[in-house]
Copies of this chain bind each other. A is one copy, B any other.
Amino acid sequence: MAVSSTIGRLGEFQLIARMTSGLAPSGDVLLGPGDDAAVVRAPDQRVVASMDLLVEGRHFRRDWSSAHDVGRKAAAQNFADIAAMGARPTVLLVGFAAPADLPASWADGFTAGLRAECAAAGGTVAGGDVVGADTVTIAVTALGDLEGRRPVRRDGARVGDLVAVTGHLGLSAAGQALLAAGIDGPPACTDEHRHPAPPYARGPQAADHGATAMLDVSDGLVQDLGHIAAASAVAIALTTESLRPEAALDDAVALLRGSGERRGAADFMLAGGEDHALAATFPPDAGLPPHWHPIGVVERGSGVLVDGEPAAVRGWDHFGQGPETTT
């Protein structure tokens, strides 16, 4: 196959063959790609299921991210949702819409990225769909197995619980700002934007530790914790002092300052988006599991407080109008 080939020249069936051949075997998949539907083991008698769409120009740019990165990110953000329920990621279904003139090498890179992130999360690809479209658009459904655990929802936080996070906060948004400004900044930031590395195993770990509420931080920490506050009818009180920015974030902020960026490390951590860290609430008496660190407490009231002040929610509205104050 010529490297310069396009997916239109390959045709649907050859493209599907390339995207599905040599998939890693998985004990979770009883019937993989190639039939009307996949058959996946669900030993728990419950299946956890989540779907995300990624649209070129909105969720990724082909000039900022490689096909491999987009594949990794597509898998990562969906498996992070599974982990945030306390479940083990099992499989992905992947819908791939693309123009006929897309280089076949881009599809190959995307497929390799998906598989790399599947390997990191312990899952595999069980099926999907390939269609033509003017814009590269990727739909991913992730499934997971609770292994007997109670699913950790958003509505279980109780007054007095500790609020804690695990994973990288702020790096992805700072990385995006660096890329937008054309600044060659810390790879820890730009890499995190191109392919987040969610702490998958810490979702089930938190569930086992008694987490009362949990979610994947995807739209900005304050906005996402606002969902826990609203669903649980509590207030979440954070302190900026507890946020402890990573060194790479401090470095990125210093570099961005020169290009007129006014956001500081705490801003990126509180409202950045696309972190794919996990945030959860835990009963105060049991301490926190390893790799989780405390950022606040659950109080009576409503909304999210930062250093005692109600936080304006500056997260993402997904119709492309950027960060938006919704309250």
Q: Which residues of A come within 8 Å of B, CB atoms?
A: 7-8, 11-13, 30-31, 34-55, 57-59, 81-82, 84-85, 87, 91, 93-97, 100, 126-135, 137, 139, 141-144, 146, 151, 153-154, 214-216, 231, 317-321, 324, 326
User: Are A51 and B93 in touch, CB under 8 angstroms?
Assistant: yes
Closest beta carbon of chain B to A219's beta carbon, Å: 9
Pick the contact of A50 from B37, B49, B55 — CB < 8 Å?
B37
* Cα distance A46–B11 in the bound complex, in angstroms: 32
Pick the contact of A131 from B42, B50, B58 — CB < 8 Å?
B58
Copies of this chain, tallied across the complex:
2
* Cα distance A81–B128 in the bound complex, in angstroms: 12
10 further contact pairs, Cβ within 8 A, besides A39-B47, A139-B141: A11-B319, A34-B154, A34-B231, A36-B215, A41-B45, A42-B44, A49-B91, A53-B96, A55-B97, A137-B137
User: Are A38 and B48 in touch, CB under 8 angstroms?
Assistant: yes
User: Are B139 and A53 in touch, CB under 8 angstroms?
Assistant: yes
User: Are A84 and B36 in touch, CB under 8 angstroms?
Assistant: yes
Pick the contact of A47 from B8, B47, B55, B57 — CB < 8 Å?
B47
